[in-house]
Amino acid sequence: MRRLFFLILFCTAITNVFAEKKYAINTDTTLFAWQNLAHQEEEFTMEDLDTLVQNHSRVLVEFGANWCMPCLQMKPRMHKVVKEYQDKLYIKNINVDHAETLTKSLNIQMIPVLLLFENGKLLRVLPGLQSMKNIREFLK
């Protein structure tokens, strides 16, 4: 009985480790794009970022990575941000492993980090794991 319990526990743990959650909210009717970091396959460039910030009046960019524990801890908070601010700003999540040149160009030295752009210009930077209170204050 004990072996069966541990076998079930092991199988459940393995299933959870390999289960892939998809956090994709990317529709034509909204002004935000949120994607799971694992699904970003193409290199995101400075040109891509320039286009993004020129096409939207307010843009929030989160830089992170799948191997970064604070980035993973930020995910639930960023989902709340998406729900609360979807009509106020465009939100983009960028995997630093797929944006190495951009990351170096912007001198990003730690992740997670939030960058807020307004009218095509970088307005503020918020580095590190943040509380919802700090994120809301940052977005005012």
Q: Could you give the 3-state DSSP secondary structure of residue 113?
A: strand
Return per-residue pLDDT of the chain as tens, 140 residues: 666 554 454 444 444 444 433 333 333 333 344 444 444 557 888 998 999 999 999 999 999 999 999 999 999 999 999 999 988 999 999 999 999 999 999 999 999 999 999 999 999 999 999 999 999 999 98
Question: Residue 21's pLDDT is what?
Answer: 37
Q: What is the pTM of this model?
A: 0.70
Report the interhelical angle of 132-139 vs 69-85 (nearest 10°): 50
Question: Residue 38's pLDDT is what?
Answer: 43
| Half-sphere exposure of residue 31: CA atoms within 13 angstroms, side-chain side | 15
Please give the radius of gyration of the chain, using alpha carbons only, rounded to the nearest integer: 17
| CB-based contact 53:117 (threshold 8 Å) | yes
Q: Could you give the 3-state DSSP secondary structure of residue 42?
A: coil
Question: Residue 113's pLDDT is what?
Answer: 96
Domains of the chain: 42-139 (3.40.30.10)
Kindly state the tokens that stand for 132. 């919802």
